[in-house]
Amino acid sequence: MSINPYWPNPNANSTTPAPAKTLVQATYDAMREDILSGLLGPGTKLRADKLKDRYDVGASTLREALNLLVGEALVASEGQKGFRVTPMSEADFQDIVRVRKQLETQALRESIAHGDDDWEAGLVGAFHRLTKIEERLQEDPSGLSGEWEVRNRGFHAALIAACPSRWLHYFISILFHQSERYRRISLSRSHTNGGSAKRDVHAEHEAIFNAAIDRNADLACELTEQHIDRTLSFLTDKGFFQHLQDMENR
């Protein structure tokens, strides 16, 4: 994947030998994963020495990766005072959810309108992959969550893959990563504050999938909005936002 998701990778479906990843990109990928997983918690001060040690790169390379993450709003640059993992807040997540609903439903509509057989095939495949791992995950909830993230991302990408708007894709991918951070961090830490009716994520995915394949745009969008909304109410019910201060300021 190219650094900037908006501009497509020319080697997408080709047989050219290797992606030839640059060190900056590798560092960027690694750091993003560490931020999304919560290993680098919200608000964490990103000191050069520590990070140079952790990722084993020079100062410049590190700062380039950092500046790349600033563009995705996963890292905030503070004047002459270094970098910091972007803080999290309930208001921020509500905002993400609102805008994400608007953009994803729009993209889904256009995707359903433009989608051809290839789109359907890709969607069926992505849903199948996701189904398999969700079955496996239900029996054995240990591990595998990394792979689930990949397939969940793939399914949601396949849904809107036929939408021709590059800018929608770009913005949606940013917001998706933002959401992913909230979800993953909320799961990795125990905040079992309240009940929060058990959520059948797979059923939600299946319903969206069926509506999309049936070309029922209105229903698919409705279900997508609910799907996204539930990520918010899920975290709220869990009392996740009350624990945010605890993990800041390291």
Binding site for a copy of itself (CB under 8 A): 2-4, 6-7, 19-20, 22, 24, 59-60, 63-64, 67-68, 70-73, 76-80, 86, 92, 95-96, 98-99, 102, 106, 164-168, 170-171, 175
Asked whether position 68 contacts DNA by CB under 7 A, the answer is no
In the set 22, 89, 188, 249, which binds DNA (CB under 7 A)? 22
- Tell me the torsion sign for CA atoms 5, 10, 16, 22: negative
Name the residue with tokens 């189904």. Answer: 131
- We find the least distance from the C-beta atom of residue 213 to DNA, in angstroms, to be 41
Report the residue number, 81 or 198, with the smaller CB distance to DNA.
81
Shortest reach from residue 201's CB to a copy of itself, in Å:
24
Residue 49 interacting entry, from DNA, a copy of itself, none, C-beta within 5 to 8 Å by type: DNA
Q: Report the DSSP pairing between strands 45-46 and 83-85.
A: antiparallel
**CA dihedral over 57, 6, 125, 118, signed as positive or negative:** negative
Structure tokens at 249: 């300021």
What residues numbered 75-104 form the site for DNA, per CB under 7 A? 77, 79-83
Question: In this structure, are residues 101 and 229 in contact, taking their beta carbons and an 8 Å threshold?
Answer: yes
Query: What crossing angle do the helices spanning 145-159 and 201-213 adopt, rounded to 10°?
Result: 20
Q: Does 24 bind DNA (CB under 7 A)?
A: yes
Q: How far is CA 201 from the centre of its chain?
A: 16
Residue of 135, 44, 42 lying closest to 90 (CA atoms) = 42
The edge-to-edge listing of strands for the beta sheet with 45-46 is 45-46, 83-85, 75-77
Which partner from the list a copy of itself, DNA, none does 82 bind, CB cut-off 5 to 8 Å by kind? Answer: DNA
Tell which residue, 70, 34, 68, 46, has the closest CA to residue 180: 34
Shortest spacing between CB 70 and a copy of itself, in angstroms: 5
- Which residues from 46-65 bind DNA, rule CB under 7 A? 46-49, 56-61, 63-64
Is 146 a binder of DNA (CB under 7 A)?
no
Binding residues for DNA (CB under 7 A): 20, 22-24, 45-49, 56-61, 63-64, 77, 79-83
